[in-house]
Amino acid sequence: MTNTNEAANAFINQDIISVTQFNTQNLEYIFKRAHQMRELVERDGASDLLKGKVLACLFYEPSTRTSASFIAAMARLGGRIIPITQGVQFSSVSKGESLADTIRTLEQYSDVVVLRHPETGSAQQAADAANIPVINAGDGTGEHPTQALLDLFTIYEELGTLDNLKIAMVGDLRYGRTVHSLTKLLTLYNVSLRFVSPETLRMPLTIMNEVIDAKLEVRETHDIADVIENADVLYVTRVQKERFSDMKQYEEVKGYYEITPEIMKQAKSKMIVLHPLPRVGEIHYDVDSDPRAAYFRQVKNGMYVRMALLAAVLGK
Amino acid sequence: MTNTNEAANAFINQDIISVTQFNTQNLEYIFKRAHQMRELVERDGASDLLKGKVLACLFYEPSTRTSASFIAAMARLGGRIIPITQGVQFSSVSKGESLADTIRTLEQYSDVVVLRHPETGSAQQAADAANIPVINAGDGTGEHPTQALLDLFTIYEELGTLDNLKIAMVGDLRYGRTVHSLTKLLTLYNVSLRFVSPETLRMPLTIMNEVIDAKLEVRETHDIADVIENADVLYVTRVQKERFSDMKQYEEVKGYYEITPEIMKQAKSKMIVLHPLPRVGEIHYDVDSDPRAAYFRQVKNGMYVRMALLAAVLGK
Amino acid sequence: MTNTNEAANAFINQDIISVTQFNTQNLEYIFKRAHQMRELVERDGASDLLKGKVLACLFYEPSTRTSASFIAAMARLGGRIIPITQGVQFSSVSKGESLADTIRTLEQYSDVVVLRHPETGSAQQAADAANIPVINAGDGTGEHPTQALLDLFTIYEELGTLDNLKIAMVGDLRYGRTVHSLTKLLTLYNVSLRFVSPETLRMPLTIMNEVIDAKLEVRETHDIADVIENADVLYVTRVQKERFSDMKQYEEVKGYYEITPEIMKQAKSKMIVLHPLPRVGEIHYDVDSDPRAAYFRQVKNGMYVRMALLAAVLGK
């Protein structure tokens, strides 16, 4: 059994930059807190846990979904938000200010910073400059750790465990940041992985090697049919048009990986379908009413996980 | 006498999409609540009635006035706001997400959605997708029901009744969404209507027929002089330049319908001048100091009506 | 000794438009309140002093730093914010609405307005239209009084006095709005001024004459070396590239006025370095760790001064 106090202390005033900073004990703590946040919201809607705390929400590129999730998380804990989700490029930043100076300025006003930035490594750079916790809300092709945490938390909440699961990831596994981060977290558990993608969008070598080094059972395929019957989790990603030079190939691939009610008939009755959203045709709208369609519950879990993280890094 | 509980229950968890969904009983309830909100704000500034509630304010086109009014309404009731008033087009939406998915995502974070969208019918579409109440803050050339409610509430608050009034509408009656919606609501009451417009901007046939079917006394004219002496309400609208192909004609019309202190001298001492704002010359600035100039009080009533609606749909 | 009640009353419901409206008694009161705000934030993070109050934050041009500071100030006092920091030009304003009408509209929703506007004189224009307090957050090349107040407050907080100080201003003294406003405030005290700039960027005649009329000791120089040993305050400003037609001259000047650890070695042990930020090379990053580098504390003081002003004009 883990020591909750130790895990709690491990988060106080810490930055959340990368999935690599977590171990199973940390994750268990965050998931326990996230579950409590769910109970709190379902019972009371909100609390005053972070009353008097201020979150600077600094988004150098727009992400309605992620910023809304953090804003809702802070609001439901009674904290306040400084939203800087636009105009960044026209203001002090355009006057040539360094990211470090912008962060050092914002930390005078706030207790925690959430940063979204188009450049890989910028979150760590911000964390190095700041004396208050920095939470990475996506830095370019780098990390988006809170997305990976909410994905993992959703599996845990929906299926009650993270062990002995068969998890299939479907679609663009090459460029999809979310499947890379989730896979890294899953190497901490005893799971069996299936990677389903077109040949050109296979999981990168480095991630494959991490999976193999972790001695997880893993298998690649081009065909959903190979995995659908045994999967406990089907994690579907967007196949983005701009990845293809040949539009005909895109159209073929796109339709090939669409989850339909017909495909769902072949799946287990207790499996779940996840998707980081937004979707553009990868999951048919008729699947939404299937109780196994968990992707909107996954969105809600994002708020709970971010509530847990905000409370944890602020020591509450 | 209406049954207040019944009227209150009729609003719980309901969408506010169109003026056609209201009857006199509903309106009486909302106006009673709006009046209480005025007393609350004048006495205490704000309350905690919606503490712990979160409003997602989703504006696909900017409308400073309307979004500010909803934000103020929620803030003065102690609720929180997720403002999504920009960047919508650059973010998940630009990735091809459907309005239904965007709404289903936001409802994971929030308790009520206010939607402004350029396409007619989008508010109903959002309401169909959502499990939480959706309030239409304007959908294209369609409806803007909260504007019509605040217009009607202002007449009621200022004159103490909605019956046996002579109400004149002036300016662009053809394209003006606000006069159409207000006229529809007025068919529920025993009022006498006067429509004052240039020939090319007369009230559309469909609205005229609704008025006639409701057996209201109604008359059209090109001339303010025909109505000014007897009007209890002068509802002035913008005559928009872009409606005219002949700029000379625009300039003539524009000046012709300007409300000036001279015109006000011919009006009753108890009449009121309303305008949905912004104005661009339809009401002379020197009229502002006239106690009958009610258009800024009308703005404030917008906040009270929105407070009443937010509280009503959230069952508080 | 000043009368605190009298000074407090002098602020209630007042606009903050220009540094010229302050005297030493007012300043003493605001600095006392700002110091209390610092103690409050350091002890509790926030208070409920302005609970139920609403601030309309109307920014016609983006200024991340200033808007974030006001938002944080209002949030830490428990008040609410209507942020109108974008889209202003696309919305009611683009429909030709006057600034006066926009302000009269916003005052229906809010208790105080903070205005940033590109045109000189617009803040006074807004204040004339409004019945609620208007705070000028910068109007073109005109005034930015809260910046000057936070600069002066920082000197007072850091050095414990505003009298008998040697204050050197360095860089672009011709176009720098902040040095002009700060200099005007300093004429109220018994200080000795040193103006250090390239020939083309010397302090304007009008400001020089105000200093001379106030009988302050003052001296101009091109060289930091002339002032560094005796200065109690080194106020550094950006030298903006766009002020130079000759880029070679810009590069010379720019490097010439950079504050480095070497230059800091020549300064007093108790002096402080200030900068309105953002900086673009005027102060070397290695100076940041010097305890005399006060520019980020200066940022934080901005929040305290704005908290003090908001509380004061709202009579709390």
What digits encode the pLDDT tens for the residues C153-206?
999 999 999 999 999 999 999 988 899 999 999 999 999 999 999 998 999 999
A136: amino acid identity, one letter: N
More confident residue, A200 or C263: C263
- Residue C61 phi/psi, 5-degree rounding, is -140, 145
Biggest CA–CA distance in chain C, Å, is: 57
pLDDT at residue C68 tops 80: yes
Chain C CB within 8 Å of residue B44 CB: yes
Neighbours of chain B (3+ CB pairs under 8 A): A, C
| Residue B16 DSSP symbol | B
What is the number of alpha carbons within 13 Å of residue A137 lying toward its C-beta?
31
Please list every residue in chain A whose beta carbon sits closer than 8 Å to the beta carbon of residue C64: 84, 87-88, 91-93, 102
CA dihedral A17, A19, A20, A21 (to 10 degrees): 60
Q: Is the pLDDT of residue C86 over 60?
A: no
Tokens of C183: 């200099």
Chains that touch A (3 or more CB pairs under 8 A): B, C
- The CA-atom distances, in angstroms, between B314 and each of B18, B115, B253 are 18, 16, 45
Q: How far apart are CA C184 and CA C211, in angstroms?
A: 8
Q: What is the pLDDT of residue C3?
A: 67
The candidate with the shortest Cα–Cα distance to C15, out of C105, C141, C120, C145, is C145
Nearest C-alpha in A relative to C303: A109
In chain B, domain spans: 4-143+302-313, 146-299
Architecture of the domain whose range is A146-299: 3-Layer(aba) Sandwich (3.40)
What pLDDT shows up at residue C1? Answer: 42
CA A72 to chain centre: 16
Supply angle C-alpha C75, C85, B66, rounded to 5: 90
Q: What is the pLDDT, as a whole number, of residue B86?
A: 57
Nearest by CB: A65 against B81, B92, B96: B92
The fold adopted by the segment(s) B4-143+302-313 is: Rossmann fold (3.40.50)
Average pLDDT in chain A: 92
Q: In what order do the strands lie in the sheet with B272-274?
A: B217-221, B192-196, B166-170, B233-236, B272-274
Integer Cα distance of C169 and C184 in angstroms: 13
Contact check, Cβ <8 Å, B91/A64 = yes
Q: Which class is domain C4-145+302-313?
A: alpha beta
The two beta strands, B134-139 and A192-196, are unpaired
Looking at this protein, which amino acid is placed at residue A119?
A: E
Q: Strand ranges (DSSP E) for chain A?
A: 54-59, 80-84, 112-117, 134-139, 166-170, 192-196, 217-221, 233-236, 272-274
C315 contacts in chain B (CB < 8 Å): none
Cβ-contact C27, C188 below 8 angstroms? yes
**Joined tokens for residue B172:** 């662009």
B296 touches chain C (CB under 8 A): yes
**A255: which residues sit within 8 A by CB, 6+ positions away?**
none
Q: Is A83 part of the contact surface with chain C (CB cutoff 8 Å)?
A: yes
pLDDT of A142: 79
> How much is the mean pLDDT over chain C?
92
CA pair distance C206, C133, nearest whole angstrom:
29
Tens-digit pLDDT string for chain B (316 aa): 456 788 889 999 999 999 999 999 999 999 999 999 999 999 999 999 999 999 999 998 888 899 999 999 999 999 999 998 755 454 555 567 899 999 999 999 999 999 999 999 999 999 999 999 999 999 988 789 999 999 999 999 999 999 999 999 999 999 888 999 999 999 999 999 999 999 989 999 999 999 999 999 999 999 999 999 999 999 999 887 777 778 887 877 777 789 999 999 999 999 999 999 999 889 999 999 999 999 999 999 999 999 999 999 999 9
Structure tokens at B134: 């959706």
Tell whether omega for the bond before B278 is within 30 degrees of 0, i.e. cis: yes
CA R_g for chain A = 20
Taking CA–CA distances from C41, the nearest residue in chain A reads A52
Tell me, yes or no, if the two domains B4-143+302-313 and B146-299 fold the same way.
Answer: yes
pLDDT recorded at residue A87: 53
pLDDT tens-digit readout, A9-62: 999 999 999 999 999 999 999 999 999 999 999 999 999 999 999 999 999 888
For residue B192, what are the CA distances in angstroms to A134, A314, B188, B268, B278?
Answer: 63, 62, 12, 16, 26
Residue in chain B lying closest to A278 (CA)? B97
In this complex, do B84 and A72 lie within 8 Å of one another by their Cβ atoms? no
pLDDT in tens, A50-107: 999 999 999 988 888 999 999 999 999 999 999 987 555 545 555 678 999 999 999 9
- Considering Cα of C167, then C173, then C176, then C182, what sign does the dihedral take? positive
Which phi and psi angles does B37 have, rounded to 5°?
-65, -40
Q: Has residue C91 got a pLDDT over 80?
A: no
Give residue A238's pLDDT.
Answer: 86
- What angle in degrees, to the nearest 10, is found between the helix axes of A24-44 and A295-313? 110
DSSP helix/strand/coil, C54 = strand
